[in-house]
Amino acid sequence: MNNGNIQRLHFAEVDSTNNIAKGLSPQVGEAILITTDYQTAGRGQRGNTWEALPGKNLLFSLVIKPDSISASEQFVICELISVALSHVLSAYTEDIRIKWPNDIYYRDKKLGGILIEHDLCGTDLSRTIIGIGLNVNQAHFESDAPNPVSLVQILGHEINRKELLQAICKEFLALLHTYERESLHVRYNALLYRLNTPAPYRDAQGEFSATLRKVERDGRLILEDERATLRSYLFKEVAYVITQP
């Protein structure tokens, strides 16, 4: 992408902004923003649904045509949007962290989720859709989601959703146009939830205790277990065990 052009499409209600986005394809250097007040079938990672009352939260997708990002480097998109969201939200409250690979956490609670879908052309990304659900002004959650939290619950007052959305898009596009790969990777790692903290996890062999040491540039999570053995995991190969009070 070579500039900050962005086109916005808003819908009162859709099944999913990512589904709408799949029918759109921007030119290189442009971005398309799809927003809605309510999603009937919003999805998160691992196939989870996303609870959001109409008109209370931010539900949107960004469609971009990455400029010369190879499929092997696709995790950079995850780092870009996660770092951008964390930076903007940190202006509202402290303790914003990234739960690998791209959930946005406030302490031990989930503030936002990201679903990234790529199209490939040869060995490069031809189109990327970044779906985001961010809990903003919803004061109560009724679903069985284990640990949601919203900005209004954290701050004690509602905030302007339009201003927040504008700040997120501005930060993401600016970062996309100017990032340096290694410094971005360092920023992402510094923001990781549970970084260098012993905590419980679960993989195919069961639950174990380990310390999160880093995430590699290709997205692999590196944990150090109690025997000082480094364990490497791809997404969905390991789960965080989070116990709520």
CATH label of the domain that carries residue 19: 3.30.930.10
185 with 217, same domain: the answer is no
Question: Alpha-carbon distance 50 to 32, whole Å?
Answer: 22
Q: Are residues 60 and 177 in the same domain?
A: yes
215-235: b or e for each residue (b if 16 or more CB lie within 10 Å)?
A: bebebbbebbeeeeeebebee
Residue range 102-160, pLDDT digits in tens = 999 999 999 999 999 999 999 999 999 999 999 999 999 987 677 999 999 999 999 99
Instruction: Specify whether 122 is located in the same domain as 224.
Output: no
Q: What is the pLDDT of residue 244?
A: 72
Kindly state whether residues 107 and 150 are assigned to the same domain: yes
Instruction: Provide the residue type at 88 as one letter.
Output: V
In this structure, the answer to whether residues 209 and 139 fall within a common structural domain is no
The domain in which residue 235 lies consists of: 198-240
- Give the C-alpha separation, 155 to 91, whole Å: 12
Separation in Å, CA 96 to CA 89, 174, 179, 199, 202: 7, 20, 21, 18, 24
How much is the pLDDT for 2?
Answer: 38
Distance from C-alpha of 138 to C-alpha of 53, rounded to nearest angstrom: 7
Structural domains of the chain, count: 2
Reduced to 3 states (helix: H, G, I; strand: E, B; else coil), residue 175 is helix
Residues 137 and 202 in one domain: no
Q: Which residues of the chain have pLDDT under 50?
A: 1-3, 45-47
Q: What is the CATH number of the domain that holds 214?
A: 2.30.30
> Residue 142: what pLDDT?
81
| The pairing of beta strand 221-225 with beta strand 124-134 | unpaired
